[in-house]
C-alpha cells in the first residue's frame, strides 16, 4: 500500500530541472530538531524513544503540508519499502536500520519528509526540483515553526538548536544541491574542485559512489558548518560556491567541445547504442550512461523529452526500484537483465543523437 502511493504521484526527484539550469537537479534542506527534556534518540531508553514517537508522529502527521501523506513506523515497513524510500532520499539509511520506535511522515507530493528518532528526534526535510533554495527554505521554515507551536524544542540562546552531534548544533541546517557535473569529471577536474570547495567549509560527495569516481557524475554539495552564521548567510555562501561550480562546469563543457568534440560524441553515441541494445546493465553503468545522455540533452543532441527519461533512470534503475518493477525479489544478475530490458524499451523510440552543436 505504501509503495503504491509512492509510485502513484510525481516526485520532485523524477521531475527534475528545466533547461534553465541543467546542472542543478535538485535542492534539499533539512533541519535537525530535538525535544526538550528527553535524551537524544541514540542515548534514550526504549520507553523514552516510544514517548518521542508518540508525541511527534501525530504532531507531524496533522500538519497541513502532510495532508493525505504517508505516516509509518519503520518497523511496519518491509525491507523493499525501506530501500525504495532510501533510494528516493525520503528516509536515510540510518533510519531504515533503526532498531525500534522510529517513524517517518512523507507529504503526498513527496517533497517533504520528517524522520522521527533518527540521529535527532526530528529531521525535517524539504526537496525541491532544480535550483530553488529560497522555496525550500520557506517551506522547511514554515513546517518547523508550525511544529514548534506543538512541541518544545531543545534550544540554547548561546549555541542554538541542540543536536545529538555537535557538528549540527546552531541552525541544525544542512542545505544541499545535487549537481550533474559530467564535463568536470570527463576533464578530470573534479578532484581540484572538491579540494577548493572543502576549504570554504562546503562538502562534496558523490551521490552514487565516493569522491571523484562517483558514477553518474552526480554530486551532492552541502554546508559543513551550522553555527556562527544565520540560515540565510549559510545558504548565500553555499549558493555562491554553487554558482562558481556551475561556471566551471560550463567552461569545461565549452572546452571539451572546442578541443575534442569527437571524444564526447563517441561517448554519447556509445551510451545511446548500449541503452538501445544491451542485455545486462549494472546500476553503476546505468548511472554513467544516464549521465552521458543527460549531457547530450543539454547539448540538444536528443529531444528535450529525453531529459525526463534520464532523470527517472537515476532513481528507478537503483536495485530496490528494479525489484519493485520486476514484481518480486530477484538477484543481482536478474536485476541487470531486467534493467537493460526496461531501458531498451525506454530508448526504442528515442531518435539517434544529432551530432552537430547548435550555438545559442
Partner 1 sequence: MAKPLKCDLCDESATVHLTQIVNNQIHKIDLCESCAEQKGITDPNGYSLADLLVKPGQEAEEPLEVTAGGLVCDECGYTQREFKKTGRLGCESCYATFANLLSPALAGMHKGERHKGKVPARAVERKTYEDRLNSLEGDLQLAIEEEHYEDAARVRDEILDLKKSTKPEESE
Q: Which of residues 181-200 bind partner 1 (CB under 8 A)?
A: none
Site stretch for partner 1 (CB under 8 A), options 14-22, 223-231, 309-317, 350-358: 223-231
Q: Where are the alpha helices (DSSP H) in 89-200?
A: 93-96, 133-150, 182-186, 190-198
Does 229 participate in binding partner 1 (rule CB under 8 A)? Answer: yes
Binder to partner 1 among 93, 134, 195, 259 (CB under 8 A)?
Answer: 93
271-300 binders of partner 1 (CB under 8 A): 284
User: Distance (Å, rounded) from C-alpha 292 to C-alpha 269?
Assistant: 9
Q: Exactly one of 21, 50, 191, 205 binds partner 1 (CB under 8 A); which one?
A: 205
Q: Nearest 5°: phi and psi at 26?
A: -155, 160
Output 77 or 164, the one with its CB closest to partner 1. 164
Inter-residue long-range contacts of 184-193, CB under 8 Å, 24+ positions, other chains counted = 184/217, 184/245, 184/248, 184/249, 184/252, 185/212, 185/214, 185/217, 186/252, 186/256, 186/264, 186/267, 187/252, 187/255, 187/256, 188/212, 189/248, 189/252, 190/219, 193/245, 193/248
Q: Under the criterion CB under 8 A, does residue 227 sit at the interface with partner 1? A: yes
Q: Which is nearer to partner 1, 22 or 172 (CB)?
A: 172
Applying CB under 8 A, among 21, 61, 80, 154 the residue interacting with partner 1 is 154
Pick 44 or 252: Cβ nearer partner 1:
44
Owner of C-alpha cell 544541499 = 176
Asked if 250 contacts 242 with a C-beta cutoff of 8 angstroms, the reply is no
Residue 246 CB partners (closer than 8 Å, separation 6+)? 21, 23, 24, 179
Q: Build a one-symbol-per-residue string for 158-177: x at contacts with partner 1 by CB under 8 A, - elsewhere.
A: xxxxx-xxxxxxxx-x----
Size of the site for partner 1 (CB under 8 A): 57
Indicate whether 233 belongs to the interface with partner 1 (CB under 8 A): yes
- Binding region for partner 1 (CB under 8 A): 34, 36-40, 42-43, 93-94, 97, 119, 141, 144-145, 148-162, 164-171, 173, 201, 203, 205, 208-210, 213, 224-231, 233-234, 284
Amino acid at each position: 500500500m505504501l509503495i503504491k502511493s509512492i509510485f502513484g504521484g510525481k516526485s520532485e526527484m523524477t521531475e527534475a530541472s528545466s533547461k534553465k539550469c541543467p546542472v542543478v537537479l535538485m535542492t534539499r534542506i533539512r533541519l535537525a530538531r530535538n525535544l526538550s527534556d528527553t535524551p537524544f534518540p541514540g542515548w534514550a531508553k526504549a520507553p523514552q524513544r516510544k514517548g518521542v514517537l508518540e508525541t511527534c508522529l501525530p504532531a507531524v502527521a496533522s500538519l497541513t503540508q502532510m495532508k493525505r501523506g504517508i505516516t509509518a513506523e519503520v518497523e511496519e515497513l518491509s525491507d523493499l519499502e525501506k530501500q525504495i524510500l532510501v533510494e528516493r532520499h525520503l528516509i536515510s539509511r540510518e533510519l531504515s536500520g533503526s532498531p525500534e520506535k522510529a517513524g517517518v511522515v512523507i507529504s503526498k507530493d513527496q517533497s517533504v519528509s520528517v524522520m522521527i528518532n533518527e540521529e535527532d528526534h526530528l529531521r525535517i526535510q524539504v526537496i525541491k526540483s532544480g535550483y530553488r533554495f529560497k522555496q525550500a527554505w520557506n517551506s522547511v521554515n514554515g513546517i518547523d515553526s508550525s511544529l514548534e507551536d506543538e512541541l518544545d524544542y531543545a534550544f540554547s540562546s548561546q549555541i542554538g538548536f541542540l543536536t545529538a552531534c555537535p557538528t549540527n548544533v546552531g541552525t541544525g541546517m544542512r542545505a544541499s544541491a545535487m549537481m550533474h557535473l559530467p564535463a568536470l569529471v570527463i576533464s578530470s577536474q573534479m578532484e581540484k574542485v572538491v579540494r577548493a570547495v572543502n576549504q570554504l567549509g562546503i562538502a562534496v560527495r558523490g551521490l552514487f559512489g565516493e569522491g571523484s569516481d562517483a558514477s553518474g557524475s552526480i554530486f551532492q554539495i552541502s554546508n559543513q558548518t551550522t553555527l556562527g552564521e544565520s540560515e540565510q548567510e549559510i545558504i548565500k555562501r553555499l549558493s555562491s560556491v554553487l554558482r562558481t561550480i556551475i561556471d566551471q562546469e560550463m567552461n569545461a563543457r565549452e572546452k571539451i567541445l572546442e578541443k575534442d568534440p569527437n571524444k564526447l560524441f563517441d561517448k554519447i553515441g556509445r551510451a545511446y547504442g548500449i541503452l538501445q541494445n544491451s542485455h545486462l546493465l549494472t546500476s553503476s553503468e546505468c548511472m554513467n550512461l544516464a549521465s552521458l545522455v543527460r549531457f547530450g540533452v543539454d547539448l540538444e543532441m536528443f529531444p528535450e523529452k529525453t531529459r525526463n527519461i534520464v532523470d527517472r533512470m537515476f532513481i528507478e534503475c537503483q536495485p530496490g526500484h528494479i525489484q519493485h518493477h520486476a514484481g518480486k525479489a530477484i538477484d543481482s544478475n536478474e536485476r541487470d537483465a531486467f534493467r537493460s530490458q526496461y531501458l531498451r524499451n525506454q530508448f526504442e523510440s528515442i531518435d539517434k543523437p544529432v551530432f552537430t552543436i547548435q550555438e545559442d
